[in-house]
Every structure is written in structure tokens, then in C-alpha cells.
Structure 1
Amino acid sequence: MIHLFQTAILLVFPILVIAAGLRDATSYTIPNWMPGVLIAAFAVAAVALGLPWRLAAADLAVGLVALVAAMVMFALRWIGGGDAKLFAAAALWLGLTGAPTFLLVTGVAGGALAAGLLALRSGPLQAIASAGPAWVVRLAKPGEGVPYGVAIALGALIAFPASALGAHL
């Protein structure tokens, strides 16, 4: 029964980052409750899995550094507020061992996403996209932002197995 609870609490991370990425792609918003639940679930997961306090403290430090970095990126208008909160909450879960992969994959995925959206917004694909659902039409609209939560979610999912908590799955 304990193993089932531990697995369930660990699954909160991939489920919520996927949901946040999809929500950002379709509405350009990430509700505050998503990173909030991720932060609360981290505390529960750390206790449930017996994460050593020094490792939990290091993960917390990574999350705080990520929050400061995300706040700077938000202030520079590089990312949205929801993206900043998701970035910090994901970094908390990923900690020192998952952070390098998270940063690398998120950066590459964000660049690829931006390039893909530029292509979608400036070529013949825009006409095809205009026949799609409203969220696709908005993605194809020139001048719209980049739903960076998609890149953050991809980076987080790929880095999760390298993290101290993800290694338990």
C-alpha cells in the first residue's frame, strides 16, 4: 500500500507538467494552482520517499535559484508569469541531478518551438492553420507570444528520470 502511494505521488509531476504544457499551448495561460500543487506534492513526495534532508534542501535551493532566474526572465518579458512559476516548480522537483538536463532540453525545445512558430506564422502553413481549432489559429497568428510552458514541460519530462525523486519510478 505504501509503494502504491509513493508511485501515485511521483506521478503528480509528469501529469501536471504535461497538463501545464497543453494548457499553455491552447490558452497561453498556466493556472497558478498547477505550480502550487507541484510544490506541495514535492514536499509530500520527499517525506513519503524518505529523501535525505540534505538532498531535499539542495532541491529547494535549486528551486529558489530557478525562481529568481525565472523572475528575471519574466521581468525582461522573455517568458510569461505562468511559465516562470512552472519553471521554478519543475526545478524544485528535478534538483541538482536533473537541472542540467532540464536547462539544456528546455532551451533547445524553446528554440525549436520558436522557430516552428515563426515558420507557421509566415508561410503557407498559416493558411492551413487558419482552418484548425481556435487555439491553432491563435498559435499561427503573427505577433502572438510563444507558449514556453510547452518547452518547460518537455525539458522537465526528459530530466525527471535523472532526478533524485524520478529515480524512484
Structure 2
Amino acid sequence: MLSFLVPVLAAAFAALVLTGAVRDLVSYTIPNWISGAILALLPVAILAADLSLATAGLHVAIGVGVLIAAMAMFAFRWIGGGDAKLFAAAAFWMGWPAVTDFMLWTALTGGVLAVVLMSMRRPPLRPLVLLGPPWLVKLSEPGGAAPYGVAIAVGALVALPKSPLLSGLVL
């Protein structure tokens, strides 16, 4: 009945996670409204995709599980608060089995991001990076944080097509 909304909602989800990634990249912050909007769109997406109650419940259970894990990662200072919220909000959209791809691609992209940041922060590249825009200079500061929202966005965008929310949608 509302299936025509599914591609629109998927595009909105993609735009929101990309906005979170860009904001994290340039300012090391992910505004709460981004994670809030992702969560606010979820019930509409569940209705539009005509998910069964069991499948919708699994989406929620996965999201709650990832939220607990993200809170633990934040408590250990492995990721920032905005990263934890974006990670959990995106996980609510994944469902099973897409959440496994989401976590795998987020972790792999996070590893690549770490290698790139470490390279930018070393003497051979740092002088070149210092010629760039202020946000790039900040990224290259030795000992600085990593904008993990970038990895979360990549993981979410790669995994989303496997989500039950998009089943039946040809991408």
C-alpha cells in the first residue's frame, strides 16, 4: 500500500548517514538530529515495506543490541557519542542478515580510515596535509580522534540493500 515510499525513505536514510559522515569528517561532531531523524523514519519504513510483526521486532531487537554495544564502546572511549548514536540508529534499519554486513563493512572501513589517518599524521605526508583546508589539518593532528561516522556511513550504505526493509525493491 505504501510501498512507493520505500525508495524515498531509503534515499532519506542514505542522505542522513552521509550527512553524519561529512559532519563528523569536518567537525568531529554528529548532531543528534541526524540519528533522531533516522530513528523517526524507521516506523514509516516498516509500514511502507509491509514488514511482518516478527521481522519488525527483529529490527528493533538488533537495534537495541547494537545500541548496548555502542554504549559500551563509548564508555571505553573507543568511539565518540555521536558515532555511538549514529551506529545504533543505522543498525535499527538493517535487520537480519544485513546487520552482519553492516558491522563487517563498518569495521573494515574503520581500519582503512585508521591507516589513512596514521599516514596523514606521519612526517612524510603531514607537511603536505598542512597546506589543505582547516578540517584536513585538524584530521592530521598526531594523536587526534578518528571520524568514525565515515566508516559507519560506508557500512550502512553497503548493507542497506540487504535489509528486509528493501526486500522487493530493485536497486
Could you say whether these structures have the same fold, taking a TM-score greater than 0.5 normalized by the shorter chain as the test? yes
Q: How far is the alpha carbon of 1:144 from its aligned partner?
A: 1.0
Report which of the two has the higher share of helix: 1
Q: Comparing 31-40 with 124-133, which one deviates more in the overlay?
A: 124-133
Gaps of 5+ in 1: none
If the length of structure 1 is used for normalisation, what is the TM-score?
Answer: 0.95
Query: Match of 1:71?
Result: 71
Which stretches of structure 1, 4 residues or more, deviate above 4 A after TM superposition? 1-4
Q: Comparing 158-167 with 20-29, which one deviates more in the overlay?
A: 158-167
Query: Match of 2:118?
Result: 118
Identify if the C-alpha distance between structure 1 residues 160 and 6 changes in structure 2 by more than 3 Å, giving closer, same or farther: closer
Q: How far is the alpha carbon of 1:126 from its aligned partner?
A: 0.9
Q: How far is the alpha carbon of 1:8 from its aligned partner?
A: 1.3
Q: How far is the alpha carbon of 1:5 from its aligned partner?
A: 3.0
Query: Match of 2:131?
Result: 131
Query: Match of 1:5?
Result: 5
- How far apart, CA to CA, are the structure 2 residues paired with 1:145 and 1:16? 22
SS in 2 for 1:132: coil
1:38-65 per-residue CA deviation (whole Å, 9 max, x = no partner) reads: 0010111111221111101000000000
If the length of structure 2 is used for normalisation, what is the TM-score?
Answer: 0.94
1:68-100 per-residue CA deviation (whole Å, 9 max, x = no partner) reads: 000000000000000000000111001112111
Identify if the C-alpha distance between structure 1 residues 166 and 4 changes in structure 2 by more than 3 Å, giving closer, same or farther: closer
> Aligned Cα RMSD in Å?
1.4
Q: Count residues in correspondence.
A: 169
SS in 1 for 2:61: helix
- How far apart, CA to CA, are the structure 2 residues paired with 1:164 and 1:150? 24
SS in 2 for 1:99: helix
- How far apart, CA to CA, are the structure 1 residues paired with 2:128 and 2:120? 9
Contact 2:114 / 2:146 at 8 angstroms: preserved in 1? yes
Query: Match of 2:98?
Result: 98
Q: How does 1:1-169 map to 2 (within 5 A)?
A: 2-167=2-167, 168=169, 169=171
Letter in 1 for 2:153: A
1:84-127 per-residue CA deviation (whole Å, 9 max, x = no partner) reads: 00000111001112111111111111111111101110132111
Contact 2:3 / 2:50 at 8 angstroms: preserved in 1? no
Letter in 2 for 1:136: L
Letter in 1 for 2:55: L
SS in 1 for 2:121: helix
Q: How far is the alpha carbon of 1:166 from its aligned partner?
A: 2.9
- How far apart, CA to CA, are the structure 2 residues paired with 1:6 and 1:113? 31
